[in-house]
Chains A and B, each alone.
Chain A
């Protein structure tokens, strides 16, 4: 119980007078006339600390927003905490952010397992878990988890798109799959298999001739690549994380196996995968992309690239410019800023979710031309289209049109 005294009334009145026109907004915890408090968990240490670049990019973006006067006059107070990629730690930090720091919502917490660990809690507490930084397919389930939303194209959809392309371009495909034995691998291969099964009339019921798995603790995937080659496959669907992707591409070339290769987007990095594997071994490999490859001089004159570059130089200058996390981090931070802008003075958690779930053809900088964000009360998958590209020389070169799950 707060007792109303003359002093509180007076100070309240003073605040009202001092605040500009935005006063009188509707607020959930974490939002006020002057501030929007946003929480995040991120692996800044431990095995996955490479992903920490995302959180640093977000912080850099919000620094820029704040310097430019904030969003609708409110400064962003961004609290990004290190969970070391360990789900129990994520749970502890999410509780701390929601209950002690009283953030308005969690923005882009990273990791499939980490987000899974807090999903029930966030939905119970009715605190948005917005634009989670993982490509698992389970984040677009508003019927059961109305407070959780993904952002990037999900792995299942991506897998389906490769299956479609194989059907269109490879005659009598015999497909070999190398899969990391975890959630990501399951998602990628699940969508792929589903789509291949749907094509059984045109490409046969057993187009997938072999699937070999590896564990992240395996020193190499040499043995698996030998198994795949031995199956006589002419298509190689490479569902791996960067180190293993590089090993697989290199080994396949060494033993003279030359199938049509599809490499999942999580490993589609020129610097971290193709160069180490040897660019001469990587020619022609196909992947699906949704953000601009900043190492590609093709984009140098694009307006959004120039803006991004200026932001990198001014606010994120310590980051490695060729790392794609700086691009995705920038684009997702832009998206959340748009959502908050549209919330206006109604900064309740309900309204944040409502605005996030009503994006219509939102154009986000650094996404590939033509890709727009669309969501609705039943569609919690913001980015649903990608473009295929293949390795040509030292870069990815886009080809074909925009493809999405339903079209194509």
Chain B
């Protein structure tokens, strides 16, 4: 039983990591209607910036705040400089640019900071919560921050005019434009927010998996799985999906299929969900009139 609980808790921690990444993916999807393959690498890069600031002697929370701001500005700038000219380009052109961004961020981070893994400080102590190795304060912290981010985002999209405008811009750019929404700027705002969320996710993940340029590569796949399971258009669903994937992956890996097929299992979940419930477990089916 103790083993089961430990695996469950470990699953929740990885689930929280996936959920963070999924949240960033959803953010971009909701505000631009695209899936950003470079989300993980942007997060990684932002985490390196935070590391560099801390290394230079800034206190953790100052570096944290600065990094979120810089990431926001960076995401905003990427949309303005690189993606704006592609606004009317076919979706494949965008996918290619996302993948290009992915390898650029990865290679530049490697060039500047080398591929040796680095320790990243955590704001939470790694102390045990109950003294039985079950849950550490660190794990709880990651879950907590994820949930807080989720709450803020949901509130933002649901209760603010800006959030509404952003959703409108993504889902129906033409109508939104006719209603006076500045679509292009909304997209840039979405990118900024997604980059900021990514930065937070990166800084939460790094103390657990260690910081290196490939830190997010594996996580991104699970993040995708989480986002798709929960519904890629729905922040709440994505977070739930992240947790589901994390816990299931650990339990099924330990008891049923063995560790080799964990990733396969995540991908099977994705296919299953897409076949049976394409909008995701928590997604709403959107009917478009043609």
Contacts and interface: CB of A to CB of B under 8 A. Distances in A.
Real complex partners, A and B? yes
Interface of A: 45, 47, 49-50, 181, 212-220, 222-224, 226-227, 230, 242-243, 246-247, 254-256, 271-273, 275-276, 320, 323
A213 to B, nearest CB: 5
A222 B10 contact: yes
Interface in B85-140: 107, 110, 114-119, 126, 128, 133, 136
Contacts of B262: 215, 218
Given A217-B218, A219-B218, A246 B117 contact: yes
Interface in B168-209: 205, 208-209
Given A220-B208, A223-B7, A213 B114 contact: no
Given A243-B209, A255-B6, A219 B14 contact: yes
B237 to A, nearest CB: 21
Given A181-B260, A213-B260, 11 more contacts: A47-B214, A50-B110, A217-B221, A218-B259, A220-B14, A223-B7, A223-B14, A224-B259, A226-B3, A243-B212, A247-B209
Nearest to B134: A255
A242 B115 CA distance: 11
B128 to A, nearest CB: 8
Given A220-B14, A247-B209, A49 B133 contact: no
B13 interface: yes
A256 B259 contact: no
Q: Nearest 9 CB-CB pairs, A to B?
A: A50-B115, A217-B218, A255-B133, A222-B10, A276-B119, A230-B3, A219-B219, A223-B250, A272-B116
A94 B218 CA distance: 31
B11 A223 contact: yes
A224 B260 CA distance: 11
A215 B126 contact: no
A226 B6 contact: yes
Contacts of B133: 254-256
Nearest to B211: A276
B278 to A, nearest CB: 25
Contacts of A215: 218, 259-260, 262-263
Nearest to B250: A223
Contacts of A255: 6, 133
B254 interface: yes
Nearest to A52: B115
Given A47-B214, A226-B3, A254-B126, A218 B117 contact: no
B222 interface: yes
Interface in B35-86: none
A320 B113 CA distance: 11
Contacts of A271: 116
11 contacts: A49-B110, A213-B258, A215-B259, A215-B262, A215-B263, A219-B205, A219-B218, A220-B10, A220-B209, A223-B249, A246-B210
A219 B17 contact: yes
A230 B255 CA distance: 13
A217 B219 CA distance: 8
B253 interface: yes
A242 B116 CA distance: 9
Contacts of A275: 119
Contacts of A47: 214
